[in-house]
Structure 1
Amino acid sequence: MVACAQGIGVPRGSGMLVQAMHAVSCFSEDKIAAKVGYLKKTLRWSDAEVGIAVSRGPFLLRRSDDVLRRVSEFLISEVGLEPAYIAHRPSMFTYSLERRHRPRYHVVKFLKENGLLNHDRDYYSMVALSEKLFVEKFICPHKQAAPHLAEDYAAACTGKGPAKFRFT
């Protein structure tokens, strides 16, 4: 298992070695190769980018193809992230598309479109914040300008319906 983990780019002594061994223990070499191929095709990653992503997030091998596809489509098509950016931050695949990525993306987009956020934020930094910090940084400062933002964000986080934000 250690050799197989090293074969997917996780070096011996890495903090990710245990996760990588767990990931490779669940699959045959053929299934691992198929998953690596799927990552390359779906996320438009090079061999090097797959190596970076899997070494930083061996859990990617255990994620379903559907989750990988849906999250990658959102990140690339809607958010506009480059595949290389995503490869260096594979933990983005640990967050729920419906309850974290979409609601937070739409809050930041709403704030930018309405002139309430005057500087660009790194997408990963925003999505990786704890819920408490996200609310403190992106929702609370705009209570007066957008009084329904907290309520709309909470509704969007339930995963029910599209994220719609309003001023009045």
Structure 2
Amino acid sequence: MERTTRFGPSFQLKEGFGNWRKSRCSEISRENRMASRSIFRKSLRLSLLFCRDGQPFGTRPLSSSAIPSGQDDCAVSYLVHSCRLSHEAAIEASHKVKLSSLEKPDSVLALLRQYEFSDTQISTLVRKCPKFLLADVKKTLLPKLEFLSSMGMSRLDLARILSYHPWLLRRSLENCIIPFHTLLKSVVLSDVKVVQIWKRNTMFIDKVSKNGLPNVEFVREMGMPQSCIAQMVTYHTKIVMREPEVFRELVGQVQQFGFDPWKSNFVQAMKALHYKKTWRQCEEAYRSWGWSENHILSAFRSCPLCMIKSRKKIMETMDFLVNKMGWHSHKIAKYPNVFCYSLEKRIIPRCSVVRVLLLRGLIKEEKEKLSLATVFMTSDEYFLNNFVNRYLNQVPQLLNVYQGKLEYEDV
């Protein structure tokens, strides 16, 4: 019992000391870790003070290949000084991408600079898609950049496109990028035109295999010539990339209106019928000037593009031709091409000349069989010779009226 009493307190003391030592060691370890982090951050900030143009003398910031876990300051500093992000943008980006190592980000940035991306373009790309820094250079990025360059896209264009559409580099080379290029090349045949379309339509690349290829094959089988297909793909890519069911329904509607697939106005009619909201706006504008359903449909068949004009364009043109020139709106319905011409550059100058000639009695509308087609749809050379030069002896100021230097009322 004595031994128990003698050794009991001693054992309890030793056990208590052991627990205290473990606890103290744990506290010391935690203090050391905190001190280590503090020292790392201070040294990082100190190293960044000795930077010139964002790069340290002799070394780069965060030159270690690994970033300690939990070191948000390290990731933010890397994004600021290596990717040229603002401090606020870097903080936001650091929440979207975890840079546990600098190996991949460094290799990504090196590849971009090799392809002549500017600091601003790199900053834009990383800000929009921070996870891009973790891409595999050899397996993912390099093959795509090489392919895009091989098709004739300059590095300047490549950097500009990818900095604004970084998601493009996350698309499959085999399933998206190559099929899109194949479609364009098979239609327009020219590398130069392919690059031009690429610049405008990269947002449709995901839909080429599922929608674009079947739709082009559909119109090709129905007899549409290569020239019309090229026009459709080049200028109306959005329509080509619609779901095959929607696309075929649209083609069927155009056929019901009597358009010939062999003529370019077939593609124009597709565009007019595709944008239903614009069609309704045009329809309302024409009706406000007294056009009937037959007038509208007749105008559409004659010139499909008259149904894709803005309400402002229609109203201003109608106001000038009806209220100032005195032509009936039903007469204008027979020549809907007039809405495709510039009011300032063609309609007003030519009408001003015609107005002077009519007021002077030099021409008579009935006798001369003066039609809107003669006034607006003839070439500049024809109009100048037959309506301006022909009457300069009688009206010397007529050329000034045509050139907009003089109002017709002042002649």
Normalising by the residue count of structure 1, what TM-score does the alignment of the two structures yield?
0.79
CA distance in 1, matches of 2:269, 2:346: 25
Q: Equivalent of 2:340, from 94, 112, 133?
A: 94
CA distance in 2, matches of 1:43, 1:33: 16
CA shift in 2, pair 1:57/1:72, >3 Å = same
Write the deviation string for residues 134-153 of structure 1: whole angstroms up to 9, x where unpaired: 11001112222222211331
Q: Equivalent of 1:19, from 265, 268, 291?
A: 268
Q: Equivalent of 1:140, from 379, 389, 395?
A: 389
CA distance in 2, matches of 1:33, 1:153: 34
Higher helix share: 2
Q: Is 1:127 aligned with 2:382?
A: no
Query: Which aligned pairs between 1:28-107 and structure 2 lie closer than 5 A?
Result: 29=276, 31=277, 34-35=280-281, 37-107=283-353
Deviation at 1:162, TM superposition (A): 4.5
Deviation at 1:49, TM superposition (A): 0.8
Unmatched segments (≥5 aa) in structure 2:
1-249
User: What's the Cα RMSD here?
Assistant: 2.4
CA distance in 1, matches of 2:372, 2:322: 12
CA distance in 1, matches of 2:328, 2:400: 31
CA distance in 1, matches of 2:285, 2:253: 18
Count of residues paired in the alignment = 157
Instruction: Indicate the SS of the match to 1:93.
Output: helix
CA distance in 2, matches of 1:165, 1:137: 22
CA distance in 1, matches of 2:318, 2:308: 15
CA distance in 1, matches of 2:279, 2:308: 13
CA distance in 2, matches of 1:36, 1:134: 29
Whose RCO is larger (CA < 8 A, sep 6+)? Answer: 1
Deviates more, 1:39-48 or 1:86-95: 39-48
Deviates more, 1:135-144 or 1:122-131: 122-131
CA shift in 2, pair 1:77/1:155, >3 Å = closer
Write the deviation string for residues 34-82 of structure 1: whole angstroms up to 9, x where unpaired: 2353144233111111110112111122111100111112222222222
Contact 1:107 1:165 in 2 (8 A): no
CA distance in 2, matches of 1:12, 1:103: 33
Q: Which structure has the bigger radius of gyration? A: 2
Contact 2:286 2:314 in 1 (8 A): no
Deviates more, 1:33-42 or 1:92-101: 33-42
Q: In the alignment, which residue of structure 1 is the partner of 2:402?
A: 153
Normalising by the residue count of structure 2, what TM-score does the alignment of the two structures yield?
0.35
